[in-house]
Every structure is written in structure tokens, then in C-alpha cells.
Amino acid sequence: MKMPLSALLGLIFTGAFFLAAIFADVLAPYPLDAAVGKVWEAPSATYWLGTDTIGRDILSRLIYGGQITIFVATASSLLAFSLGSILGFTAATQGGLVDQVLSRLVDLMMAIPSLIIALVVLVVLPRSLITLILLMGLLDATRVFRLSRAVAMDIAVMDYVEAARLRGERQSWIIFREILPNALSPLVAELGLRFIFAVLFISTLSFLGLGIQPPLADWGGMVQENKDGLIYGKSAALMPALAIAVLAISVNLVADWVLSRTTSLKGGRGG
Amino acid sequence: MDKPLLDIRNLKIEATAYPPGEPPRHVVLVEDVSVSVQKGRVLGLIGESGAGKSTIGLAAMGYGRGGVRLTGGEILLNGRDIRGADVGVLRSLRGREVTYVAQSAAAAFNPAKRLMEQVIETTLLHGVMGRAEAEARAVELFRKLGLPNPETFGARFPHQVSGGQLQRAMTAMALCPKPELVVFDEPTTALDVTTQIDVLAAIKEAIHDTGVAALYITHDLAVVAQVADDILVLRGGKRVEYGTTDQIINSPQEAYTRALVSVRSINHVEKPLAPSILSVAGVTARYKGTTFDVLKNVTVDLAPGQTLAVVGESGSGKSTLARVITGLLPATQGRITFNGRVLSPDLASRSKDDLRELQMIYQMADTAMNPRQTVGTIIGRPLEFYFGLKGEARRQRVQDLLDQIEMGKGYIDRYPAELSGGQKQRVCIARALAAKPRLIICDEVTSALDPLVADGILKLLLNLQAQEGVAYLFITHDLATVRAIADRIAVMFRGAVVRYGSKTEVLTPPFDDYTDLLLSSVPEMRLGWLEGVLQTRKMESAGN
Amino acid sequence: MPPVLVLVTQRIALGLLLLLAVSVVIFAGTEALPGDVAQAILGQSATPEALANLRESLGLNQSPVTRYFQWIGGVLTGDLGVALTNGQDIGQAIAQRMGNTIFLAACAAAISVPLAILLGLVAARYAGRWPDKVISGITLSTISLPEFVAGYFVIYLLTQVFPIFQPVAMIFPGMTFWAKLHAVALPVIVLVLVVLAHMMRMTRAAILNVMQSAYIETAELKGLGPMAVIWRHALPNAIAPIVSVVVINLAYLVVGVVVVEVVFSYNALGKYLVDHVAKRDLPVVQAVGMIFAAVYIGLNILADVVSIVANPRLRHPK
């Protein structure tokens, strides 16, 4: 499988992040919230990335934080993806009232920026992991709905779908054997984009103090904790920021590559 | 002898293809083609798709579409070689010495600007005339080309006029700067047959009036025979034969040319009337949410093993009839009887046997097959679905069907994208056959294919009908196809059947007005046909 | 009535309906709890009297429908209520801060819009060649950054590495225009970075889409030079999608402003909103959330209207 250099790099970095998240307990040199060194120490042999605002090891917090961030982002994007695509496909194939109702509902949800809804809802909701995952999942499901509905509708008007219907095939057969295989590429790419969005969103919420709460670490929260150090030239806040940036760019590169291969897969959607 | 206006010598045109997922490939589009055009003469460029005719036409303007490069030979325009010429030189001759009429005028006009402005644009740009003079010439050309309200036509926007009118407007745009050569790139291909004849006549007269030379590109030999003085036959980017129109049409030398000339000359002897297998009685239908009927009281019958051709232009309702018969669009009135049983109007309530015995083949084979399924799966699914065939038995039967459609071994594991246009359509036919149907609806199945390939498909369909005794409901807009394949004919116009009967009955005068118009608009492959039709029509309207 | 006017009126009417529906969503979003609003606001350790008081002041004893109408009635008459945390009149607080937010957004828009269009034009003109790849590469990275990440990178770069600016943006009433500009320079730079990428990409796509149309080829075959082709044929058709793109991205700016204000401790509407979410101040969040939503929706409606008006088929019907 030929892959441009950028996509390969993206894949490597993404893989590295995920592996670090899964094996966090093994990889992290120090515990999550133990103050092991002095405040804002520079990177050294003992603390590879230095220490943070109350003396915790940044590298360890980065690894554990990555675990949480990636876990929440993965969970919510999987939720968004499954909910959005199932509803999107249903709306496209059923048409009529079902389609109208779902589409109007989604239009309404998408009329308000996600951040604003999240802020409003987080005034009263408990700030637990479950709430955050559910909230982000639901908000993102709207975008996946739009895309999968559009993709499904494009495919549903093809003659081969009509031929299957004329044959007498059941609706479920048509969705899973005729429509879905042709919809995979754009959907998989979309999953990648949703993941990035989830990472950025949860980081932003944590940065604003409304996302993942201490003692759990999270990259966005780490930036928030260490931001004052920047005034004194302490670069502690930049490490988690860099981590977010690298992860986002890497996944973006992979998603771009998947999307560009859409038409090259044997007889992909159109050409 | 005069020096030719356009002299092409040993032209070579290449391009780079970028098949996705593979390294870029080098393609030769045109190889060693030489031809010349004298002042005031019309050269027809004829060939199937991929023959290189449009590529050569554009090369006459020094242009290559996409990544196409003019790499070898000479293109002498008025003695000057324009192949590889400087861009400034090319720009000075484009729109002034050589102009272009595109295949789809609807897309070729800028939707945001009025027609007059676009028609006189090059005339003003190259300083051929002043604005007032240019506008006057434009109006004159509109009048000559038969456009309605020539004085005010230019004030309209492209979307406000019809396709046929736009094609004429584009011709006016090409003739306005008084060019020496006009390249007509399939100008009537996208039009209905009855519109085509008017536009064709208009173009021929305009060419004659202005004395301009022309390259007329088309795949329809009958059309080119009406307009061209000389014809160049192309195939796969190479020259096959060249001669005057008379020579090519009446005494073609090469085998390929002879095949093109004799296309659609299959003569099918019609079968006698017999008890019907399909009976459409008084069917009326309309789309949900609209206020008018798309089918009005349609009554036709089809006997087993015979072919009913349903002819009409776009908007006639012929495809809608197919949708009603298959149950995709329930009829509001009337009844359809198939195989002795009344068919439920709605697809969902039909029995599996009903569905199995009524099959459909589509116009565009590309979109009729799931690109992710192999040929074996596509043909095999009906076998599994209707007859429960699996494994080796199914594979064997698929191969039998492939043999029947004359495709042989080695195709079962291929994907549709790897097949040619004709092969794709054959696979669709095999898929329909797999269900052992009693009736197959063929919805314009040859319309998207090159004439020779289409001929092959028609012959195959006739053979299969003889072997399997299957009936066809053959929907088409092409009368030559109808002559070749039909036993009975129904002519449709605006949702109603205007003429119906056996082939001989329908095609023998006296005709109703529409059938008369339709039949007389189909170009015949002989010189002077166009003049003859126009003459007849002039006489008819003078007599009224 | 000409079809254009009909469509525009329809779109605006639809937009107003949407606004109403959104107000319901915002209100309902805060009722979304399983459990008691007062409890959630005051936390576990609240005394029963405190809870009862809060319920009283929020009117939680009435039905949600009544409360909604009271609230929306207030909003429509200009009474946005009173903050829970300090009793301040919300309307006044908003009025004080609104100007600052608008100033920030306007500066960012003034820089990013022309820059995005220019870069989009260049990238489209040289599509596939190095200027395009360079521009696309840089924007890919900025697109992947959330506003606060970009913010802190910029702060680090421009206050530590190259000490040009201050890390905090403070505006006082009575500041001169230029002083204000200097104060908001950093947040404006961050906002521009974030929005520029999206806008440039969409502009490039819109222009390429137009350039690949058949009528562009017709223009070339008529012997027009590249500038004439772009100016006379491409631009008239590209203006509508570009304006649409710009307006859509301005809507995107609305959201970016919130985070940037927090990063730079810029005392305006966004910071006001976030601070009060943390303090669980329900009335404030409802009011300010509604305002941001309204601006966002308004801008999207504007983008739609521009598309409608620019379509020649609608302006000149058959």
C-alpha cells in the first residue's frame, strides 16, 4: 500500500500517542499527582520535560493526561459516529416524515455553535467523564448525521440500488450490502475528523475549567494550570499545547490520505 | 490548387493519465494524422468515442484540454504553424481566425452575463468591429439562425432560453467575428431529434451564407453526411479513411468505414400478434405532489417472446411507463396484467415470482452495477436470491450466463471498473437473464453506447430472445433501433400514446402530426436528406 | 413579488423562527438535568434554607413553560435579569462589555478577510504548484490548533522569545484608538491565525470550482488572456461563494472570540460568559448564550441571503 510521507508520519505519531495512552501505567516514570520536584524546573535527566506549577513531573502528567484525553475523545467520537451514521442512513433510506423530523432537529442543533451549547449546558450538569462523553457525542453526532445522510442519498439514487429494490431485497440488505460498502471511505475519514474535533473540544473545555476536573490530568487543563509560567519564561504550558497540536495534525494527515484514496479503491464511489 | 486554409501534417497528440493508485501513464491520443481543409469547405471528423476527433478539433486552435499536449507534426493555419506557437500568437488567432462551438452550449455560456455581451465579446476584443456594428451583426446572425425575437434575444440570460436556442446562440457567437474556420464539436448530440434537425439546418445555412470553412465533429455518420463536403474517419487516434462525403457514404473502402455506414441496418421481420403476456390498460399516473399527469390513459400489449418498442423524446413519459410497470410509481388509474395475473400497483406488495419474472436493464451500465461487487457477485445474486443456488453450482451457472452473453472465461472475479462500456452492458443483461424472466424492460440500453458497440448489443438481445423466448419492452428515442428490433411500436408524446400498432402499421403513412415530425427528423445516411426534409416542410407550411 | 424577494423574506422569516427555537433549546438545556437545578448550582453541601431561597429567586417552583415565557418576555423587552452571583443587572453588564468584543472581532475580521481572499486567489491561481502547497501546508497546521493552543504559542513567541507585546490585553474606557489597537494586537493575531486557515481554504475551493467550469474554457478559446478570463468571467461567478465563505467564517469567529478573551484576560462578553459558567450563574449564561447564538444565526442567515441574491437565475427569472 503506497502512502505519501506525510500520511506515514501521521500514522506513526498517531500510533505512538495511542500506544502511550494504552500503556500509560507502564510508561509514566512518576505518579500522576505527586509533587516530586521543585516548581517549574527546566527539563533535565530526572524530569525529561521538567516540572509543573506545583512540582509534578510534566512527562508523567502528559502521558496520563493523554490517556484521559484520548479515552474521552475516542469514546465520544465512537458514540457520535455510530449514532450519527445510523440515523443518517435511516433518514436517507426512509425519507418522508422520518427524514424531515430528524433533519429539522439536526438543523436546530447545528444552528448554535457547539461551544455555546456546551457552556450553557455545563452550568447545571455535573462535570463528570460520562457527562462530557455524552455531551460531546451528541453534539458531534449532528455533523456525522449530515454527512452520512448526504453520502447515503448520493448512493441511494444509483441504479444498482434501485435494481436491488426491484429484485425484492429487504431494506437491511440494501443498506448493509449495497450502500454501506460504498459509503465506507468518506465515513472513515469523517471518523478521523470527529476524533480530532473531540480532542480539541475536550481540551478547550478543560482549559476553560469546565471539562475534566482535577485530580485527573488533561492536556487542556495542564495548559491552564501552567499558563502563568509563560510570563516568567517558563515553557511548561507549551508541552501539553504541543502534544495537542501534534496529535491533531497527525490524525488530520491520515484522514486526508484516506479521503484522497476514496476514488482509487477498486471502483470507489464514482470517479 | 489553392493553399489549404488548415493543413494538418503528421499530427501527434499525447497526454499523461493519472489512474488513481497507480503511477502516471503516458498515453498517445492521436498518431500521425494528416488532413487539410480548403477555404469554404466543411470537413466532417467522424469516429467513436476515444477516436480523437475532439482532440484534433481543439488542436486546430492550438489548444489541448486538460493535460493534453500537441507533441509532433505541424498544424498550418493559413500557412503559419501553430503547433507549439507562442501563447500570444495563439490568443490572437483564437476567437478571430478560428472559433469554437461546444457540445454543451448550456455549460459553455457564463450564467452571470447576458447573451449579447458574450456573443460580441471576441469581436470587440480583437478589434474586428466597433460595438454598434458588432451588435447589428449579432442580431442579423440571430435572425439567420432562426432565433425568436432577434432584436431582443441578446438581452436574455443563458438560463432563460432553451437548449436548442443556446446552441444556435453559440453558433452566432462563433460566426460574429467573421472567422475563417469554425470548429463544431458535436453541436447537436445533446439535443432531441426534433430540435436537432432545426439546429442542423440553421448551421448548414449559416455556413453556406458566410462562406466559412468548418470542422464538423460528430459520431453520427448520418448527421455528418448532411453538412460535410469531405469526411475523415478516425479510430483510436489514427486515420482510417478520407474522401468526399459521396465517396465515404456510397462507396466506403475500409472495413471499419463500411461497418459504420451499415450500422443499424439489421432488418427484423416482425412476428404476428399473439395473446399478451403484459397488458397495460388505461394507465394514468402522476408524481406525488404534482398537479399534472405524466401518463395519460396508456394502453399497450406485449406478446410473449416479442418486442414492444416505446418511442418518444425526453418528457414523453416512456421511462415513467417503465417505473409504473415495475411498481416504483403506482398508477392512479388503470390496470397492469402480467402473466395472467393483475400486478399490484405497488412494488412492496408484489410476490417474489412477480418480481423475478419482470426484470430491468438500465441505460447507464456504470451506475447500474455496484462498483464494489465482482461480476460473479453481480450476476450471482439473483441466482442465490431467487433459486437458492450457492457455491459451485452458482459459479457454474454464472459462467454459463457469461458464455451466453458472449463474454467467455476470466471475468467472474473482475470488477465493473475494469470492463468496457459494451461489456458492462452485457453483464447487466446477464444479471437480468439470471432470473429467468419472461419480460425484460430495456430502458435506453443502447443510447449511451457507440454505434458499433450498440449494434453488437442489439444483435445479442435478438439472439437471446430467440433462445430464451423472453419478451422485451424496449424504450428508446432512436428510430433506427426500433426498426431493427421491434415487433410492435408505441409512439409517446407528452404522456400519451399517439400511435400504436405493429411495426409495419406504425411506420407506414399516413401519420399523425407528431409521428410525422419524429420520423422525418431522424437523419438518414444519404446525401441531400436534409434538403429534402426542409423542402417538404416548407411545402407543407406553404400549403396550409 | 420577484422570486428573489420571496426567497429572501422566507429565509429571514425562517431565521427568526430558528432564533425562537434556539431560545427554547438554550432554556431547555439548563432544564436538562436529572435532578434539581438549585442542588446542582449550590452543590452537595448546601443548606436546605439556601436551596429554598435559590428556588424562590429562580422561580423554580413554577412550571418550566411559565418560566420560559417569563424569560423570553424579558429578553424581548430588554430585561435580561439579574446575576445570581452579585445581583448586577445583566443587561448593563453586557452593554459594558459588548463593545470590547465587537472591537476585537472587527479588528480580526478586518485583517483576516482581505488576507484570506488574497491567499485563496494565489493558491487557486497556482493550484498544485509550490505556492499552493506552501500555503495549504501552513494552513493545515493552524487549522489543527484550538484557539487557546495557538494563543499560548503566540504569547510565548511574541512576549518571551521576541518581547514585543504584553501577555494580557487590557482596555480601559478613555484609551485612544491606537492604544486600544496595541493592547489587542496579540489576541487579534491569534484570532486571525485561527480563522484565516478555514477562510483561505474555502475561498480557494470556491475559486477552483468556478475556474473548472466549461464557460472558462470557452473564454480561453475566445482568446482572452488569463487576467481577462478571471476578471470578466470567473469573478462575477465567484463573488457570491466567496462572500458566503467570509460570512460563514465570521460566524466561526464568534466562537473563537470566547476562548481568546479568556486566554488574554480580555474583559469582554466571552470572558464574562465563561466566568459565570464556572460560577454556575444560570441567568447570566442563558442571556449571554442567547446573544452569541443570535449573532451566529444572524450571520449564517446573511450568508444564505447573499447566495440567494447573487444567483442570476433568481434575479432574472424566465
- In the chain, the amino acid numbered A206 is S
> Helices H, strands E: what count in chain A?
11, 0
For testing contact with chain B, the best of A2, A3, A167 (most B CBs within 10 A): A167
Pairing of strands B42-46, B213-218: parallel
Chain C residues in contact with A252 by the CB 8 A cut-off are: 140, 143-144
Backbone phi and psi for residue A107, each to the nearest 5 degrees, phi listed first: -55, -45
Pairing of strands B278-285, B80-81: unpaired
List Cβ neighbours of B306 (8 Å cut-off, separation of 6 or more).
B271, B274, B471, B472, B487, B488
- In the chain, the amino acid numbered B48 is E
- The minimal CB distance from B326 to the residues A166, A181, A265 is found for A166
Cβ distance C152 to A248 less than 8 Å, yes or no, reads no
Asked, as a colleague might, if the bond just before B304 is cis with ω within 30 of 0, I would say no
Cβ distance A208 to C274 less than 8 Å, yes or no, reads yes
A vs B, Cβ pairs < 8 A, gives: 60
Name residues 165-204 of chain A within 8 A of B (Cβ). Answer: 165-169, 178, 181-182
List own/partner pairs for B257-262 with CB under 8 A and 24 or more apart.
Answer: B257/B233, B259/B452, B260/B46, B260/B221, B260/B233, B260/B451, B260/B452, B261/B221, B261/B525
Place of cell 476527433: B53
Backbone phi and psi for residue B359, each to the nearest 5 degrees, phi listed first: -115, 165
- How many Å lie between the alpha carbon of A256 and the closest alpha carbon of chain B? 15
Edge-to-edge strands, sheet with B278-285: B295-302, B278-285, B333-338, B341-342
- How many Å lie between the alpha carbon of B332 and the closest alpha carbon of chain C? 32
Cβ distance B109 to C218 less than 8 Å, yes or no, reads yes
A vs C, Cβ pairs < 8 A, gives: 141
Strand residue runs (E) in B191-330: 213-218, 230-235, 238-244, 278-285, 295-302, 307-311
Which chains form contacts with chain C, at 3 or more CB pairs under 8 Å?
A, B
Chain A residues in contact with C146 by the CB 8 A cut-off are: 200-201, 203-204, 207, 220, 244
pLDDT greater than 50 at residue A271: no
C-alpha to C-alpha distance for C122 and C132, rounded to whole angstroms: 7
Cβ distance C213 to B121 less than 8 Å, yes or no, reads no
* CB-based contact B226:B530 (threshold 8 Å): yes
- The minimal CB distance from B102 to the residues C214, C236, C318 is found for C214
C-alpha to C-alpha distance for B330 and B284, rounded to whole angstroms: 9
Nearest CA to A65 among A82, A83, A52, A46?
A52
Backbone phi and psi for residue B212, each to the nearest 5 degrees, phi listed first: -85, 155
Q: Is the confidence metric ipTM above 0.95 for this complex?
A: no
Chain C CB within 8 Å of residue A5 CB: no
Chain B residues in contact with A167 by the CB 8 A cut-off are: 355, 381-382, 385, 435
C-alpha to C-alpha distance for C117 and A146, rounded to whole angstroms: 28
- CA nearest to A222 within chain C: C149
C-alpha to C-alpha distance for B525 and B265, rounded to whole angstroms: 11
Grid cell locating B512: 399523425
C-alpha to C-alpha distance for B35 and B18, rounded to whole angstroms: 31
Which of B169-173, B540-544, C265-269 has the lowest average pLDDT?
B540-544
- CA nearest to B63 within chain C: C221
Cβ distance C222 to B94 less than 8 Å, yes or no, reads yes
Buried/exposed code over B426-449 (b: 16+ C-beta within 10 A; e: otherwise): bbbbbbbbbbebbbbbbbbbbebb
| Beta-bridge mates of residue B231 | B44, B243
- pLDDT attached to residue B438: 93
Nearest CA to A73 among A3, A150, A143, A18?
A18
Cβ distance A241 to C281 less than 8 Å, yes or no, reads no
Chain B CB within 8 Å of residue A266 CB: yes
Cβ distance B360 to A266 less than 8 Å, yes or no, reads no
At A184, the pLDDT band (50, 70, 90 cuts) reads confident
User: Please, is B79 exposed, middle or buried when counting C-beta atoms within 10 Å of its C-beta (0-12, 13-18, 19+)?
Assistant: exposed
- pLDDT attached to residue B336: 92
C-alpha to C-alpha distance for A46 and C89, rounded to whole angstroms: 53
Q: What tens digit of pLDDT does each residue of A90-116 get?
A: 898 888 889 999 998 898 888 888 888
Q: What tens digit of pLDDT does each residue of B28-46 get?
A: 889 999 999 998 899 999 9
- pLDDT attached to residue A270: 33
- How many Å lie between the alpha carbon of C196 and the closest alpha carbon of chain B? 29
Cβ distance C255 to A119 less than 8 Å, yes or no, reads no
DSSP B480-524: HHHHHH-SEEEEEETTEEEEEEEHHHHHSSS--HHHHHHHHHSPP
- How many Å lie between the alpha carbon of A264 and the closest alpha carbon of chain B? 5
Chain A residues in contact with B355 by the CB 8 A cut-off are: 166-168
Sign of CA dihedral B205, B206, B209, B215: negative
Q: What Rg do the C-alpha atoms of chain C give, in angstroms?
A: 24
- SS3 string, B42-83, reads EEEEECCCCCCHHHHHHHCCCCCCCCCEEEEEEEEECCEECC
Place of cell 516530586: A36
pLDDT greater than 90 at residue B471: yes
C-alpha to C-alpha distance for B507 and B522, rounded to whole angstroms: 13
Which is more confident, A214 or C13?
C13
Q: What tens digit of pLDDT does each residue of A216-267 get?
A: 888 888 888 888 777 777 778 888 888 888 898 888 888 878 777 654 443 3
- In the chain, the amino acid numbered A157 is V
Helices B529-543 and B513-521 cross at an angle (nearest 10°) of 160
Cβ distance A124 to C280 less than 8 Å, yes or no, reads yes
- How many Å lie between the alpha carbon of B1 and the closest alpha carbon of chain C? 31
Cβ distance C221 to B121 less than 8 Å, yes or no, reads no
Grid cell locating C106: 472587527
Average pLDDT over residues C193-215: 86
Chain B residues in contact with C238 by the CB 8 A cut-off are: none
Q: How far from B427 is each of A184, B305, B374, B378, C159, CA to CA, in Å?
A: 25, 21, 11, 8, 69
Cβ distance B371 to A2 less than 8 Å, yes or no, reads no
- Which of B410-419, B526-535, C47-56 ranks highest by mean pLDDT? B410-419
- pLDDT attached to residue C313: 79
* CB-based contact A236:A226 (threshold 8 Å): yes
